[in-house]
Amino acid sequence: MPKEIFQCRECGYCCQGETTVSLTPEDVARMADYLKISVAELKSRYLREKDKVIQMRVVDGHCIFYNGGCTVHPGKPWRCTQWPLHPSILSDPNNFETIKESCPGISKRMGYEEFCKRLAKLTPKKS
């Protein structure tokens, strides 16, 4: 990602809050593998499940894996790897502004249309 569009400031803001991203079954398997523990142990120690939605536990207002940075970086959920380039950002200028406000990694000089244009160039179209 070109730095003029996005450069992570490692502020940790996106790892804070009372909920986290939800995990896919692949995320759960990858994370257990990375931590070298069983899925059952991963779930009992680090995850929470409600209405079939699996998230990471929240401790002191942040993801349980946040400690000045992500401590499971290679095994983190794919939604974390995508942030802040959430698909909703491209479909709604208001989402873009909201995400831009909460993520200092997105250039403040970047407008919605310019951001979409540059991102589209980097994202191959599916046929």
Angle of CA points 82, 103, 12, to nearest 5°: 80
Q: How far is the CB of 51 from ligand SF4 (least distance, A)?
A: 20
Contact flags string 58-77 toward ligand SF4, x per CB under 6 A: -----x-xx---x-x---xx
Contact 119, 125 (CB under 8 A): no
Beta bridge partners of 58: 63
**5: CB partners within 8 A, 6+ apart:** 106, 107, 110, 115, 118, 119
Q: How far is the CB of 7 from ligand SF4 (least distance, A)?
A: 8
Q: Does 85 bind ligand SF4 (CB under 6 A)?
A: no
Residues that bind ligand SF4 (CB under 6 A): 8-15, 20, 56, 63, 65-66, 70, 72, 76-77, 80, 83-84, 103-105
